Structure 1
């Protein structure tokens, strides 16, 4: 099991709602996710390269 940091509260870059960011120390990865719009991005904390990403499109409240 990969040790992770405690989640940090961040604004989702996709919808603006509250999401979370975690650092996976042993693999130098950063995982940012949003439970509201299903946004996900996993990137390398050293190079900034995106390893995995999913963004379901712009979130439009009230549609």
Structure 2
């Protein structure tokens, strides 16, 4: 999921969320999740809202982002 600046993967290769600054790092080589907890929270909340808007099951939401 992206928002213009950030590229967000709720479950990255390590099983943890990944965040990339796609403006400064368009090839998504440097995960900056640890340094940007507010962006992670905002994108995660946006993903949850989107999933709920489209009637996703709570099980699917939990599997992607855990308990909001």
Normalising to structure 2: TM-score of the pair? 0.29
* Length-normalised TM-score, structure 1: 0.30
